[in-house]
Amino acid sequence: MGSFAAKPNTITMNLYRVAFYVIVAALLGCCRFAAAQSLSIKDITQFFSPSVTLRSELILPSPLAENDTVLHTNAGLGLQANIPLKGKIEFDLNLGKLKNLKNIKSWTDWQNISKSVPVDIRAYQLFLTLGGGYRNLRLDYETQPHRLPYINGGVMGIHLQKKLKFLFYSANLLLSEDVNTLNQTRPFFNGFVGQARLYKFSFLYYYGLFLSAGNKRVLPVPFAGISAGLPGAFNLQVILPMEVSITYRKNKKLLATASVAVSGFTSGFENRSSGFLPGYDQRIGFANNFIKSTLAGTYVLPKGRLKVEAGAAYAQGLRFLEAKNKDSFSFKPKAAPFVGISYQMNLGNRSLVSILFDKIDFKW
């Protein structure tokens, strides 16, 4: 049947919003793959909101190795914009669902109530994503830090299908250096596609495939995860193989999150000193990976939200690569304190996701 304008059923929309959160979690995990140079600048529950987010983070100085006197400091600054391009919601009358009314046991029997709503809902939302920033890599034998810039842009979309299924996808171009393209900024393609589903109204699961292509290399990475409510005001997010986090919502304005996540980036910089890498006077490839454990507090403002996090970066791995001779130098710095701060400015309730979900609390 044709589509018509109507206000979504509140119960049904609560269920749909739960499923959207899982997809947000999946996208957040994939984006850590998709743009290794970029910062994790999106809160899970706000990933699809029209917004501009500014984030900075710092890994405090740590020795390059156990007994090394050279200190390594890593800082970053990033900007990300989510701009809604197009969105639509349709309601198709389905009187056949009324037969499920006989199965409703009480007003809290949300599963059978939702099955009895005589409407099929289809919706989609497309976003333009733009971002950029740089990393500051400082080695204390040098007076000036190395600035490692990047820029990316693309589109992402999410489609609501029947039976509480969701299709989500993204395509992104990243302009940056790579250890095999030193002194040349080349595009790298990153994309992913996945599906999520609400299972027995207790938790959601999702799965998909991430793909990275560039410089004659193709890297496929499968991913999967769940989102589950815990007793009280807690929520658990697990994104394999990237992140585990637990969030506590004290009220509508204050949230606390504990998380463990994998992070990192790659780039290249000019070798300024022969004292560190003797005999090399060209650009050096650089790769950094680490695990971070953090505690974060988020305060929701009228037109945005402020997030502050602190913790530690450990299991660090640094790798310097000289492309011409294929020489590699690896280091394992000690654990170091990690701090980050971000501010998200909302652009207004102009997208489908904002209209449907911004005013509804996520509760199990």
Please check whether residue 5 lies inside any domain of the structure.
Answer: no
What was the pLDDT predicted at 311? 96
What was the pLDDT predicted at 317? 84
Quote the domain boundaries for residue 109: 10-357
Please check whether residue 201 lies inside any domain of the structure.
Answer: yes
Residue 315: what residue type?
A
What was the pLDDT predicted at 118? 58
Strand partners, 360: none
Q: What is the DSSP string of 60-76?
A: EEEESSTT---EEEEEE
Residue 100: DSSP 8-state: G
What was the pLDDT predicted at 119? 61
What was the pLDDT predicted at 161? 76
Please check whether residue 148 lies inside any domain of the structure.
Answer: yes
Please check whether residue 321 lies inside any domain of the structure.
Answer: yes
What was the pLDDT predicted at 111? 62
Please check whether residue 2 lies inside any domain of the structure.
Answer: no
**DSSP percent split of the chain into helix, strand, coil, nearest 5:** 15, 55, 30
What was the pLDDT predicted at 157? 85
Q: The dihedral of CA 11, 14, 20, 25: what is its sign?
A: negative
Please check whether residue 364 lies inside any domain of the structure.
Answer: no
Please check whether residue 362 lies inside any domain of the structure.
Answer: no
Please check whether residue 278 lies inside any domain of the structure.
Answer: yes
Per-residue pLDDT of the chain (364 residues; tens, 9 = 90+): 333 333 334 333 443 444 444 344 444 334 433 334 444 434 444 556 788 999 999 999 988 877 777 888 888 899 989 888 887 776 666 666 666 666 666 655 656 666 666 566 677 888 899 998 888 888 776 667 777 788 889 998 888 777 667 888 889 898 776 555 555 666 788 888 998 887 665 677 889 998 888 767 788 889 888 888 777 788 888 888 788 999 898 888 999 999 998 887 776 666 655 555 555 545 666 777 889 999 999 999 988 899 999 999 998 888 777 656 566 778 888 899 999 999 999 876 555 555 444 433 334 3
Q: How many domains does the chain have?
A: 1
> What contacts 109, CB < 8 A, 6 or more positions away?
103
Gap between the Cα atoms of 142 and 284, Å rounded: 15
Q: How far is CA 118 from the centre of its chain?
A: 35
pTM, whole model, 2 decimals? 0.72
